[in-house]
Structure 1
């Protein structure tokens, strides 16, 4: 799924784990020079460079388009290892790499984590934006996400605002919205995952076999029988977003 860059901006401005650097946005020339060396950069990473330029995540810098002699430059020779490009190294030595051999149709490179001891790789996210969303969720104590469907969404984008006004929340929004509407108190088996910008909420189950469908219900009418009271919006959120 293509990342929603305005939702990414919202996440970055609210993220407790990402420190923005005072250097400001990277210049277009530096971004183009990096692309001349590496090929087209992932759109959400390129956007981040153009909007923020540099930053630290978990106490370690995210690679930027600094001069090549800089250790933080995405074009630094040590970062390239065949079909992998390291853009972030944890304080414990584990590395996050773009998987250059798995470019998606939208131009994004998936992100993998490489273990510092044995070099084993583990999938992290489908996009750079998704990587930041996953890390923000972890920093907020949300683990992978409140259910597998939302976790899959966040691996691509930190929320989505559709043209029809439907907003699917990112990790920076979901806790506050559920607390505001006391969802755990009135409908403990459900969670609020978005809204229609018109007073109705989008609800999904925490547990059970059906954790893909979404019910639509007035935010002032939240109760325990959401399955009966709510209108079925879709039986598969990810597919529905893909056709919206």
Structure 2
């Protein structure tokens, strides 16, 4: 799914786990120099360079568009390893890489993690925006998402705001919205995952067998049996979003 960059901005500005430093965004010239060396950078990473430019996760910097001789530069020679490009090296030695051989039709590169001990590689997210979303979720104690469907959404985008006003929450929004409407008290097996900007919430189970179905219900009518009281919106949230 194509990342929602305005939701990414909202996440970055609110995140406790994605530290920003005052150096500011990378210049257009430096970004173009990096693309001349590496080829077209993935859109969400290129956007981040132009808007923020520097950032730290867990005390380790995210690679930026700096002169090639700088250690933090995405162009630094040590970062390029065939079809893998390291953009973040954790303090414990594990590394996050862009998978250059798996570029999507939207120009994004998936993110993989390489184990420092055995070199094994594990998929992490569908793109750089998803990487930031999942890191934010982990920092907030949400693991990678409150149920498998929302976890999959966050691996691509930190929430989605559609043209029709439907908002699917990112990790920076979901806790506050659920607390505001006291969802756990009224419907402990459910969670509010979004709203329609018109007074109705989008609800999914975070416990139980069916954690795929999404129900619409007035935010003032939350009760324990949302599957009966609510209107079934979809049984495939990601497919529903993809088809508009």
Q: State whether TM-score is above 0.5.
A: yes
Unaligned runs of 5+ in 2: none
Q: Could you say what secondary structure the match of 1:66 adopts? A: coil
Question: Residue 20 of structure 2 aligns with which residue?
Answer: 20
Q: What is the rounded CA distance, in whole Å, between the counterparts of 2:208 and 2:58 in structure 1?
A: 33
Cα offsets for 1:4-30 (capped at 9, x unmatched): 000000000011011112111111111
TM-score by length of 1: 0.99
Q: Could you say what secondary structure the match of 1:202 adopts? A: strand
Number of residue pairs aligned between Structure 1 and Structure 2: 244
Q: What is the rounded CA distance, in whole Å, between the counterparts of 1:216 and 1:189 in structure 2?
A: 16
Residue 47 in structure 1 maps to residue 42 in structure 2: no
Question: Residue 192 of structure 1 aligns with which residue?
Answer: 192
Question: Residue 206 of structure 2 aligns with which residue?
Answer: 206
Question: Residue 84 of structure 1 aligns with which residue?
Answer: 84
Q: Could you say what secondary structure the match of 2:41 adopts? A: coil
- Deviation beyond 2 Å, 4+ runs, structure 1: none
RMSD: 0.6
Q: What is the rounded CA distance, in whole Å, between the counterparts of 2:96 and 2:235 in structure 1?
A: 34
Cα offsets for 1:57-110 (capped at 9, x unmatched): 110100000111100000000000010000000010100000001111111000
Q: What is the rounded CA distance, in whole Å, between the counterparts of 1:173 and 1:144 in structure 2?
A: 14
Question: Residue 117 of structure 2 aligns with which residue?
Answer: 117
Residue 96 in structure 1 maps to residue 96 in structure 2: yes
Cα offsets for 1:150-204 (capped at 9, x unmatched): 0000000000000000000000100110011010110111100000011100000
Unaligned runs of 5+ in 1: none
Q: Could you say what secondary structure the match of 2:203 adopts? A: strand
TM-score by length of 2: 0.99
